[in-house]
Structure 1
Amino acid sequence: MNNLKNIGIGLLLMTGVFFASCSEDFLDEEQTNAYSTAYFDTPEGLQALTVSLYGNIRWHFGFEWSYGNTLYGTDEFTNANDLTNEMWNTYDNRFGPVGASTATGAANGNATNPNALWDEMYYGIASCNTIIAKAETVISDLKIRNRCLAHAYFLRGYNYYRLVAQYGGVVLQTKPIEGVVRNYERATEEKCWEQVISDFRNAYTLFEGEVFTYGKGITWTKATAAHFLAKALLFRSSERNDAWNNAYKDTDLKEAIDACSYAITARGPLTPNYSDLYANWTGIDCPNEQLNEILMAAGHNADAATVGRFGNRTYSYFAPQFSSFSGGWVRRGVWIGSMDFQRCRPTEYTYGIFDHVNDARMWKTFRTVYGANTVVTASAGVKVGDPGIVMILNTKNDNTYNGAKFGASVQAPTWTDVNGRLPEWNTGARQTATAGTLAVKKGQFVPNSSVLYQNGVYVAPTFKNQPICNFFAGINKTECGSRTAERGDSHRDVIMARLAETYLVRAECYVRLGQYGNAMQDINTVRVRAQWKAGENRSYYNDGSQAFKVNPLNTGTSATAFAASNLDMNTYYLSNPTLAVTTAASDLRLTSFPNNLPPEDEAVMVKVGASTDKERAINFILNESTRELLGEWQRWETLSRTGMLIKRAKAFNAEAAPNITANKHELRPIPQSFIDGLLNDDGSNLSSAQKAAWQNPGY
């Protein structure tokens, strides 16, 4: 019996596949390798293999690589004091084809290897190739055959998209391989994008509209294919490919606009409340995981039998190290929706690119208050349920806190209410059915407090240097109160594509065609959703921690810790100290584009030297993508695509700036383990020169 198995050398053994028993819902899959290849010569076998393709995308969120190759080394995030994947952010001499290890200076053995993405994407491609090769002869039912082919073309296109976005030209293998093959050719980027676009076009043609064949909210549809077809066309026509893409640009951009328009028409409008996308996650398979705006998600649930190799570990990477501040007033546990692994620390640019007053996304995304769930020093006067960590996100021109003391120390109060202003707590921020005001008095000790600016200087990184600050306001898009162990898997889906991005993709296509009015209209659609609505309480905050309300562990001391830790408040008014309390609507709509932009955007234009209308427009869309899509697993490829990675990393990421190099770091290194395994057609080993020819420039 010729059993199939996954072997970790990527292309060199491409017969490896994942597959599962046929099911109406891929989350009910039963992982097994008991079948032989003969199983795929049956309609049931190919349908099972099709369902299993959904499992391949879970890999992206199963470990440290989730942020390492997507968010680090960009303008949005830098590393905090945890240095697991530091080299992916700093581009230092540990970042290369071999990968970092403790022997080569990595902080620990969890550092992401460049071959991680390479290997996993080719595993999925191998499964897709099997389906595409066999479907016509094995499946007689045309509807079922097309459904299987649509999924296979889509995942193959998606996996090659990820490979080409990261590595440039790669090996194109579109047919099943029998046995071990070790002589491959590397295709050009042009040829690779041709393949990606062809696969997405095939998927777009074959999908049955918005038919949820494997469960609404987790199934790829025609709109999903349209979204990624548009992204691929835009990538081919963007700056990274300017050496050869001139013949494609206009037709690609027009086709991308048409594809976006299909997705927007088929799945629109946007979800009215930004919080419903991430913050209002109330538990496993909750309704907000089924929103029409979500085009693609990696699905998860609580069934341990279906986790497979990769669960969802993304809740670990965005929170500051809250449990270590000031001796531990806020202890971690399942009642707080994140682990405090302090991997992704927002940059000054990330905080500053928001309109702090009018953009609701900022206050629905950043967690700025943690309640004290432990009394460390009774003499401090802090009770369980009082604010234990307060992070003030003020602006550069704010002088309110110039003389105040901030930091984390139990020896002496680090900040008291020197200005007599605690509006969150004195005016009833917790406007819920059962909660009233918190009894916090003027002068009360807050054990841990920080501010972004004093005297016009960005001082946030100076708190808790060890040597890099672990004290910051993190984002909440992965918070999960459904965990059943402190370090257990999250059970919430991970959104991989949604309509707001589709609008921004279409806007960028319009910009590249010189249609600035159409671009502004799409941008304003996204920004209108981001406005405060009339009646909204700007001090109210929540996130996926609230799922703990229905967690079986929510009893006894755990219930007390949950209520004490999650105070449903933010620091909106502390961060905007001259603003009167209001529930009025705000307005973020642009009235001019790409000139006369908001001041936070104009500051970026100066910093990156964007002067032409096209440069200003594209950089504005990059800024808007930060505000809308912060932390959503794609920033590195977006900056690489637009030719802005080097410039914006140097401008906004202090840790990346010294080492990031043009004509090198726009691409990842080809894994050395793959190159070393290659042979010539005659079976001889590659020479040093041949190996060097395989590698990307500079590595």
Structure 2
Amino acid sequence: MNTIKNIGIGLLIMLGLSISSCSKDFLDEEQNSQYSTDYFETSEGLQALTVSLYGNIRWHFGFEWSYANTLYGTDEFTNANDLTNEMWNTYDNRFGPIGATAATGAANGNATNPAALWDEMYYGIASCNTIIANAAKIDDIAIRNRCLAHAYFLRGYNYYRLTAQYGGVVLQTVPATGVVRNFTRATEEQCWEQVISDLRNSYNLFAGEVFTYGKGITWTKATAAHFLAKALLFRASERNDKWNSAYKAKDLDEAIQACSYAISARGPLTNNYSDLYANWTGIDCPNEQLSEILMAAGHNGDAATVGRFGNRTYSYFAPQFSSFSGGWVKRGVWIGSMDFQRCRPTEYAYAVYDHVNDARMWKTFRTVYGANTVVTANAGVKIGDPGIVMILNTKDDNTYNSAKFGASVQAPTWTDANGRLAEWTTGKRQTATAGTLAAVKGQYVPNSSVLYQNGTYVAPTFKNQPICNFFAGINKTEDGSRNAERGDAHRDVIMARLGETYLIRAECYARLQQYGNAMQDINVIRARAQWKSGENRSYYNDGSQAFKANALNTGTAATNFAASNLDMNTYYLSNPTLAVTTAASDLRLTSFPANLPAEDEAIIAKVGAGSDYERALNFILNEYTRELLGEWQRWETLSRTGMLIKRAKAFNAEAAPNITVNKHELRPIPQSFIDGLLNDDGSNLSDAQKKEWQNPGY
């Protein structure tokens, strides 16, 4: 694994720039390196370029675009008080082909430009085209096929991302010579044919589960199978209903076969959901090698391979704890995230879970922070006491109807109607040893929140400035291996895993009205998600535990780490009538798509799903959330299924006013690209021609 992380990433930095520059429009083909492209017409150079392809995928997680074009503007996440990429969530008039800058109304200079994904994907495609065009110069057939398998895979993946976001794009499948400025925009149908063709080629060329460049991080036949299934499903989905009728049945059958290969080759699922994300203990730890992981963007601790941005995903999911906590919980490397408050869960993102029986909820949301600084001795709070407590109760819970919540330093923030201190644990928290209790009654908690009071969703009312920055963040990117507060994260970023593969196959079965087969796959996922016998339901951990092995973990830093990480959640506070238990739970469906769990029936009613298929699809969309929350693909999933507008309007209050049918299902084609185009005779495009290049509504 270290081989591909160091060599692959290093070669991308050294060699990849000789194809095109990632900081320029892909039209610009000038050479920007001391290396000549002649090197990439040799066997050695082509093999080196193949290894460097792994570096192209790291871009997706290096900056603000990681969440802007994948998570914002959906049913799962909305923006908090930080407004860096607000326009990607609200779809307001700053969201368009030219992008937003501080001069045009963006909050700062970090706003994601629609051209960012466009340019970077073509950068990777250019490298793939070079390998494919020159592969015959590799005499060893096995090595040649390995290089081709990788090149076809990344080209197919990059065109998948482009087509999913923009619709029809430019299909450049041979190396460009010189500066090319006259292109034809392919149709969406032609683009999906290219994506599927490339991924089929990759699938056929990969030699099974051979980890050529290191276990886990290397692309294999199962990786290609997974994305081939996704591409086939996309072509068969609602967004393409105007032209896809001839493909649907065959595409769904082939997708099922591809999923079945990946599942049989790499299964079973990892037993404990926490092992995928929460139990990350440090750079290259064993949990980065789980067989369930089909594709990941590799990172490590080698400063020479960080590249332009490194891994910045740890910044985007936490609430602004250092601000609203009044100083009781301060930032630091011992806390696995930075509190940039970019992605605030919607009400739907909490309500979609079975709060009692679904362990994924409590293994994903961080609900407790310990105080790591004493602000005032008069408050009665000491280091290691709970400094922030977030109660994720349900709409029908009346326990906290008269309680007072909020954020304050000088006065208790969690009191009953008479102003008395309330007990923060209700005497029912389990310690790390399953089955034992640690009651802390009358504890003052400086900062506390609740989801519901009197049946009303009140969570957004805490710390409005003007938008809530007080919420439960998710832990899938937490990283305690950083060497500075704003240092680079070092953990891999998972891009595909078998949990999703099962749901893709279930969706294909549902589209073929094979609901029994769909339920069988869904139940594999839900069986892993339920509590196992003996599990401590109030125990919590995340990747900040990597700080235990961090060289900075001495003196005050070690004390602050222990203070901030209390290894507990608010499971029993959030389910206040539930007795302490270590019994197994059962999430498996007994019928589908009729008689679904209450949380699903409520969501299905709100989106108006009536037919068996509509019910099945929306349940599966809910299950995608429960299994894959925050895993960088929700916008594309909703756009593909024709549910983006309906579910954003239903569950994202900030997106609802502006999101528009027949416009926002696609991203705007970057204006910088269109303005650079020329006609075949060298003349500039007319305004009418430029308009033809643009997606509807922009």
Question: In which range does the TM-score fall when normalised by the shorter chain?
Answer: over 0.9
Q: Distance in 1 between matches of 2:589 and 2:605?
A: 19
Aligned match of 1:456: 455
Q: Secondary structure at the match of 1:558?
A: helix
Q: Distance in 2 between matches of 1:302 and 1:419?
A: 46
Aligned match of 1:22: none
Deviation at 1:118, TM superposition (A): 0.1
Deviation at 1:444, TM superposition (A): 1.7
Aligned match of 2:190: 191
Q: Secondary structure at the match of 1:78?
A: strand
Q: 1:428 to 1:220 in 2, by over 3 A?
A: same
Deviation at 1:41, TM superposition (A): 1.7
The correspondence for 1:12, drawn from 1, 11, 27, is 27
Aligned match of 1:333: 332
Aligned match of 1:94: 94
Deviation at 1:436, TM superposition (A): 8.7
1:443-592 equivalences in 2 (<5 Å): 443-592=442-591
Deviation at 1:10, TM superposition (A): 3.2
Deviation at 1:421, TM superposition (A): 5.4
State the one-letter code of the partner of 1:164: T
Aligned match of 2:431: 429
Q: Is the Cα contact below 8 Å between 1:58 and 1:310 reproduced in 2?
A: no
Q: Distance in 2 between matches of 1:409 and 1:203?
A: 57
Q: Distance in 2 between matches of 1:316 and 1:632?
A: 14
1:144-543 equivalences in 2 (<5 Å): 144-416=143-415, 422-423=424-425, 427-431=429-433, 441-543=440-542
Aligned match of 1:667: 666
1:619-658 Cα distance to aligned partner (Å, 9 max, x none): 0000000000000000000000000000000000000000
1:461-491 Cα distance to aligned partner (Å, 9 max, x none): 0000000000000000000000001111100
State the one-letter code of the partner of 1:34: Q
Q: Distance in 1 between matches of 2:341 and 2:377?
A: 28
State the one-letter code of the partner of 1:95: F
Any gaps of 5 or more consecutive residues in structure 1? 18-32
Q: Secondary structure at the match of 1:13?
A: coil
Q: Distance in 2 between matches of 1:227 and 1:330?
A: 42
State the one-letter code of the partner of 2:119: D
Q: 1:683 to 1:452 in 2, by over 3 A?
A: same
Q: Distance in 1 between matches of 2:486 and 2:589?
A: 44
Q: Is the Cα contact below 8 Å between 1:334 and 1:481 reproduced in 2?
A: yes
1:131-146 equivalences in 2 (<5 Å): 131-136=131-136, 138-146=137-145
Q: Is the Cα contact below 8 Å between 1:416 and 1:443 reproduced in 2?
A: no
State the one-letter code of the partner of 2:100: A
Aligned match of 1:24: none
Aligned match of 1:26: none
Deviation at 1:424, TM superposition (A): 7.8
Aligned match of 1:123: 123
1:645-692 Cα distance to aligned partner (Å, 9 max, x none): 000000000000000000000000000000000000000000000000
Q: Distance in 1 between matches of 2:104 and 2:389?
A: 38
State the one-letter code of the partner of 1:92: D
Q: Distance in 1 between matches of 2:535 and 2:291?
A: 23
Q: Distance in 2 between matches of 1:675 and 1:312?
A: 31
Q: Is the Cα contact below 8 Å between 1:15 and 1:176 reproduced in 2?
A: no
Q: Distance in 2 between matches of 1:358 and 1:90?
A: 34
Q: Distance in 2 between matches of 1:608 and 1:621?
A: 14
Q: Distance in 1 between matches of 2:82 and 2:508?
A: 38
Deviation at 1:7, TM superposition (A): 5.6
Q: Distance in 2 between matches of 1:568 and 1:207?
A: 43
State the one-letter code of the partner of 2:28: L
1:570-590 Cα distance to aligned partner (Å, 9 max, x none): 000000000000000000000
Q: Distance in 2 between matches of 1:291 and 1:316?
A: 25
Deviation at 1:157, TM superposition (A): 0.2
Q: Distance in 2 between matches of 1:51 and 1:443?
A: 59
1:224-261 Cα distance to aligned partner (Å, 9 max, x none): 00000000000000000000000000000000000000
| Identity in percent | 83
Deviation at 1:327, TM superposition (A): 1.5
Deviation at 1:38, TM superposition (A): 1.3
Q: Distance in 1 between matches of 2:429 and 2:264?
A: 42
Q: Distance in 1 between matches of 2:380 and 2:59?
A: 46
So what's the TM-score if we normalise by structure 1? 0.95
> What is the aligned residue count?
680
Q: Is the Cα contact below 8 Å between 2:74 and 2:648 reproduced in 1?
A: yes
1:38-53 equivalences in 2 (<5 Å): 38-53=38-53
Q: Distance in 1 between matches of 2:210 and 2:182?
A: 41
Q: Distance in 2 between matches of 1:166 and 1:341?
A: 25
Q: 1:3 to 1:72 in 2, by over 3 A?
A: closer
Deviation at 1:4, TM superposition (A): 4.8
Deviation at 1:437, TM superposition (A): 6.8
Q: Is the Cα contact below 8 Å between 2:421 and 2:444 reproduced in 1?
A: no
Q: Distance in 2 between matches of 1:47 and 1:424?
A: 61
Q: Is the Cα contact below 8 Å between 1:424 and 1:569 reproduced in 2?
A: no
> Does 2:113 align with 1:113?
yes
Q: Secondary structure at the match of 1:345?
A: strand
Aligned match of 1:616: 615
Q: Secondary structure at the match of 1:547?
A: helix
Q: Distance in 2 between matches of 1:16 and 1:116?
A: 20
State the one-letter code of the partner of 1:86: E
Deviation at 1:35, TM superposition (A): 1.9
Aligned match of 2:77: 77
State the one-letter code of the partner of 1:63: F
Deviation at 1:307, TM superposition (A): 1.4
Q: Secondary structure at the match of 1:495?
A: strand
State the one-letter code of the partner of 2:34: A
Q: Is the Cα contact below 8 Å between 2:423 and 2:442 reproduced in 1?
A: no
Q: Is the Cα contact below 8 Å between 1:15 and 1:178 reproduced in 2?
A: no
Q: 1:265 to 1:457 in 2, by over 3 A?
A: same
Q: 1:84 to 1:688 in 2, by over 3 A?
A: same
Q: Distance in 1 between matches of 2:30 and 2:287?
A: 38
Deviation at 1:308, TM superposition (A): 1.9
Aligned match of 1:103: 103
Instruction: Identify which range, 285-294 or 306-315, moves more after superposition.
Output: 306-315
Q: Is the Cα contact below 8 Å between 2:233 and 2:255 reproduced in 1?
A: yes
1:58-85 Cα distance to aligned partner (Å, 9 max, x none): 0000000000000000000000000000
Q: Distance in 2 between matches of 1:9 and 1:303?
A: 27
Q: 1:46 to 1:567 in 2, by over 3 A?
A: same
Aligned match of 2:3: none
Q: Secondary structure at the match of 1:319?
A: coil
Deviation at 1:430, TM superposition (A): 2.7
1:367-404 Cα distance to aligned partner (Å, 9 max, x none): 00000001112111001000000000000000000111
Aligned match of 1:634: 633
Q: Is the Cα contact below 8 Å between 1:4 and 1:36 reproduced in 2?
A: no
Q: State the Cα RMSD in Å.
A: 1.6
Q: Distance in 1 between matches of 2:66 and 2:40?
A: 31
